[in-house]
Amino acid sequence: MIVKGRKLSFVLSVLCLVLVISACSGGSNDAKNTSSASNSPSGSSGSEQLPELTIDVLSMLTDYAGPQEGWFAKIVKDKFNIKLNLVNSTGEVVPSRMASGDLGDLVVFGNENRKEYSDSIQGGLLLDWTKDGLLDKYGTNIKKYASKGIEANMKMFGDGKHVYGIGESVGDGEGSSELNKLTMGPSIRWDLYQKLGSPKITKLEDYLPLLKKMQELEPKSDSGRKTYGFSLWSDWDGNFMNLARTIGSYYGYQGGDGFNPGDMLLVSATEPKYQGLLDENGYYIQGLQFYNKANQMGLLDPDSVTQKFGDVANKLKDGQVFFTPWTWLDDTYNTENHTSAGKGIMPVPFAEEKAITFGYTPYGGERKWAIGAKAKDPARVLMLIDWLYSPEGMMVLQNGPKGLTWDLKDGKPYVTEFGWKAYQNPDTEVPAEYGGNTYKNGSVKINNSTLNSNLINPETGEPYHHDMWSSTLDHQPNPVLSSWREAMGAKTMNEYYTKNNMIAVTKQTFTGEPPVQLTTDIQQKQNEVGKVIKEFSWKMVIAKNDADFNKLKQQMIEKAKGLGYDEVLAWEAEQTKKTAFAQNP
Partner 1 sequence: MQADSATLHPTAAKSKRLRKPTKHGRYQLFFMASPFLILAFLFSYLPLYGWIYAFYDYRPALGIAHSPYVGFKWFTTMVSNEVQRAEVVRVLRNTFGMNLLGLMTSVVPVIFAIFLVEIKSTWYKKMVQILTTLPNFVSWVLVYSFVFMMFSTQTGFVNGVLMDLGWISEPINFLASDSHIWIKMTLLGLWKGLGWGAILYIAAIAGIDQELYEAARVDGAGRFRLMWHVTVPGLMPTYFVLLLLSIAGFISAGFEQFYVFQNAVNAHDIEVLDLYVYNIGIANSSFSYSTAVSILKSLVSVFLLFIANRLSKMVRGESII
Q: Which stretch in 297-305, 424-432, 443-451, 507-515 sits in contact with partner 1 by CB under 8 A?
A: 297-305
DSSP tag of 578:
I
Q: Which stretch in 21-29, 89-97, 249-257, 394-402 sits in contact with partner 1 by CB under 8 A?
A: 89-97
Q: Which stretch in 383-391, 413-421, 444-452, 522-530 sits in contact with partner 1 by CB under 8 A?
A: 522-530
Distance between CA atoms of 404 and 419, rounded to whole angstroms? 7
Report the nearest approach of partner 1 to the CB of residue 495 (Å): 37
Q: At what angle do helices 207-217 and 283-296 cross, to 10 degrees?
A: 30
Q: Which stretch in 12-20, 96-104, 432-440, 473-481 sits in contact with partner 1 by CB under 8 A?
A: 96-104
Nearer to partner 1 by Cβ, of 189 and 534: the residue is 534
Nearer to partner 1 by Cβ, of 95 and 489: the residue is 95
Q: Which stretch in 70-78, 284-292, 428-436, 516-524 sits in contact with partner 1 by CB under 8 A?
A: 516-524
Report the nearest approach of partner 1 to the CB of residue 114 (Å): 12
Nearer to partner 1 by Cβ, of 306 and 554: the residue is 306
What mask of x and - would describe binding to partner 1 in positions 47 to 86, judged by CB under 8 A?
A: ----------------------------------------
Nearer to partner 1 by Cβ, of 491 and 531: the residue is 531
Residues 535-554 that bind partner 1 (CB under 8 A): 535-539, 542
Q: Are 135 and 141 in contact (CB under 8 A)?
A: no
Indicate which single residue of 41, 133, 219, 298 sits in contact with partner 1 (rule: CB under 8 A): 298
Distances (CA, A) of 425 to 153, 238, 429, 437, 438: 38, 31, 10, 14, 10
For residue 166, give the H/E element and its range: strand 165-166
Nearer to partner 1 by Cβ, of 231 and 449: the residue is 231
End-to-end CA distance of the chain: give it in Å, rounded.
90
Instruction: For the chain, give the number of residues.
Output: 585
Residue 99 interacting with partner 1 (CB under 8 A): yes
Which of 350, 320, 349 lies closest to 333, judged by CA?
320
Residues near 542 by beta carbon (within 8 Å), at least 6 away in sequence: 292, 295, 300, 302, 304, 305
Phi, psi of 263 (to 5 degrees): -65, -25
Residue 562 interacting with partner 1 (CB under 8 A): yes
Tell me the site size for partner 1, rule CB under 8 A: 39
Q: Which stretch in 209-217, 399-407, 519-527, 545-553 sits in contact with partner 1 by CB under 8 A?
A: 519-527
Nearer to partner 1 by Cβ, of 122 and 425: the residue is 122
Phi, psi of 517 (to 5 degrees): -110, 150
Report the nearest approach of partner 1 to the CB of residue 95 (Å): 4
Residue 5 interacting with partner 1 (CB under 8 A): no
Which of 563, 559, 485 lies closest to 526, judged by CA?
563
Residues near 208 by beta carbon (within 8 Å), at least 6 away in sequence: 229, 290, 293, 294, 297, 299
Distance between CA atoms of 230 and 232, rounded to whole angstroms? 6
Distance between CA atoms of 13 and 165, rounded to whole angstroms? 53
Indicate which single residue of 9, 25, 122, 198 sits in contact with partner 1 (rule: CB under 8 A): 122
Residue 175 interacting with partner 1 (CB under 8 A): no
Residues 205-244 that bind partner 1 (CB under 8 A): 225-226, 234
Distance between CA atoms of 363 and 152, rounded to whole angstroms? 6
Report the nearest approach of partner 1 to the CB of residue 24 (Å): 19
Residues 397-416 that bind partner 1 (CB under 8 A): none
Residue 98 interacting with partner 1 (CB under 8 A): yes
Amino acid at 359: G
Indicate which single residue of 152, 208, 563, 568 sits in contact with partner 1 (rule: CB under 8 A): 563
Distance between CA atoms of 371 and 379, rounded to whole angstroms? 10
Residue 531 interacting with partner 1 (CB under 8 A): yes
Which of 146, 305, 165 lies closest to 233, judged by CA?
305
Q: Which stretch in 11-19, 203-211, 438-446, 523-531 sits in contact with partner 1 by CB under 8 A?
A: 523-531
Nearer to partner 1 by Cβ, of 310 and 431: the residue is 310
Nearer to partner 1 by Cβ, of 221 and 438: the residue is 221
Distance between CA atoms of 480 and 466, rounded to whole angstroms? 20
DSSP tag of 158:
S
Q: Which stretch in 26-34, 94-102, 180-188, 278-286 sits in contact with partner 1 by CB under 8 A?
A: 94-102
Q: What residues does 369 pair with on adjacent strands? A: 108, 166
Phi, psi of 251 (to 5 degrees): -115, 20
Report the nearest approach of partner 1 to the CB of residue 303 (Å): 5
Q: How many CA atoms does the CB half-sphere of 240 hold within 13 Å? A: 25
Which of 370, 423, 458 lies closest to 167, judged by CA?
370
Residue 327 interacting with partner 1 (CB under 8 A): no
DSSP tag of 463:
B
Distance between CA atoms of 186 and 203, rounded to whole angstroms? 12
Residues near 52 by beta carbon (within 8 Å), at least 6 away in sequence: 37, 38, 40, 41, 42, 46, 81, 82, 83
Indicate which single residue of 51, 54, 87, 123 sits in contact with partner 1 (rule: CB under 8 A): 123
Residue 250 interacting with partner 1 (CB under 8 A): no
Report the nearest approach of partner 1 to the CB of residue 521 (Å): 8
Residue 245 interacting with partner 1 (CB under 8 A): no
Residue 489 interacting with partner 1 (CB under 8 A): no
Distance between CA atoms of 570 and 518, rounded to whole angstroms? 12
- From the DSSP assignment, how many helices (H) and strands (E) are in the chain? 24, 16
Amino acid at 2: I
Q: Which stretch in 23-31, 128-136, 392-400, 525-533 sits in contact with partner 1 by CB under 8 A?
A: 525-533
Distance of CA 152 to the CA centre of its chain: 23
Distance between CA atoms of 254 and 238, rounded to whole angstroms? 15
Report the nearest approach of partner 1 to the CB of residue 125 (Å): 6
Indicate which single residue of 120, 176, 286, 399 sits in contact with partner 1 (rule: CB under 8 A): 120
Residues 125-164 that bind partner 1 (CB under 8 A): 125
Task: Name the residues that contact partner 1, by CB under 8 A.
Answer: 92, 95-96, 98-99, 116, 119-120, 122-123, 125, 225-226, 234, 298, 301-303, 305-307, 315, 320, 520, 523-524, 527-528, 531, 534-539, 542, 559, 562-563
